[in-house]
Amino acid sequence: MKIGLVSNWRSRRNKKGLPPLPDSRVSGVEVLHRPLDGIVGLGDVLRDFAAAEVDIVAVNGGDGTVSAALTELLHHKPFDKIPYLALLGGGTTNMTATDVGLGGSAIKALRHLVERAARNELEAVCVERHAIRLDHWPDQPPHYGMFFGTGTICRAIQLSHEAIHPFKIKSSATAVVLVYAFVCSLLGHAGKHQLLQGDRMTVRFNGQVVEAGDKLLALVTTLDRLVLRSKPFWGKEEGALRYTSIAYPAKRLFHSVRRVLYGGEDRGLPPEHYVSHNADRISFEMTCPFTLDGEIFEPVPGLPVELSSGGRLRFLRC
């Protein structure tokens, strides 16, 4: 059994040091470790792993590193069949790893992964998720990830980079900023950053227009849970992509937050303000920035942002 481990030195938690490798003479599991300064060279590393016939690709980094790895695996296809994926959550934001990754510190996570591999118990801890394929730029290949967001979500990410990350808060900085914005608006002063404002967008599901208007936020994900273990989606249709939006201004926003994040199938929310659907293809026409797994992009004027399923992946969660 072989594990190919790639570590991003720039990821926040990895700056304290990378996990020691287990002794393959004891475990019978060989770990090939390739540290990188950022994501430059990631494609070469994955091609080396494919040539070495690794059984598991382990990613030690944050959401951005995971997204870059998924793009390499799904677009450039270094493997004939994508192996198991194991996420160690070494970044500032680790939303994907929180849902489908390995728990605990990098050292503990790697030890548990090796133990499972040595006992040939991978299928017992395997979960599957679709990747999101994002097509938008005519001169670039598609991007792949697990979470797409726009509106207030992007403003919160940008503010968290400016004001929260320097303090090294360990929880989700973006979630902290969103809570801050809600509290400020509840008290009657949204603050100079004006996080809670609307953005005009048109959204099409499977080619049909479903929504058009001002939105506080919109998100698309294939994960089962997001920050703070929330599940802000309740669509009942078939489809690989989960979509949720909140209109601007939203009716009874602060009284509805708990139901948006943690409600059941019937959340009792005003349907003209709170929308959740499932679909296989979702497109956005908008002028505001959007994010894929934490990286912010500006839309190309006149071109829709197209989201679709990028295929199913097997993650190890132990």
Asked whether 3 and 30 are in contact (CB, 8 A), the reply is yes
Q: What is the pLDDT of residue 253?
A: 86
The CATH class of 147-292 is mainly beta
Looking at domain 2-131, its CATH superfamily turns out to be Probable inorganic polyphosphate/atp-NAD kinase; domain 1 (3.40.50.10330)
Provide block-wise average pLDDT over 10 residues at a time, the chain (318 residues). Answer: 91 64 82 92 98 97 94 98 94 88 88 93 97 96 97 84 53 54 51 75 92 95 93 96 95 89 93 96 98 95 97 95
The single-letter code of the amino acid at 227 is V
Do the domains at 2-131 and 147-292 have one common CATH topology? no
Domain ranges for the chain, please list them.
2-131, 147-292
Q: Which conformational region is residue 9 in: left (phi greater than 0), alpha (psi within -120 to 50 degrees), or beta? A: alpha
pTM as predicted: 0.91
Q: Which helix (H) or strand (E) holds 69?
A: helix 63-71
- Please, which residues have CB within 8 angstroms of residue 85's CB and are 6 or more apart in sequence? 56, 57, 58, 59, 69, 313, 314, 315, 316
According to the model, what pLDDT value does residue 118 have? 94
Q: How far, rounded to the nearest angstrom, does the alpha carbon of residue 216 sit from its chain's CA centroid?
A: 20
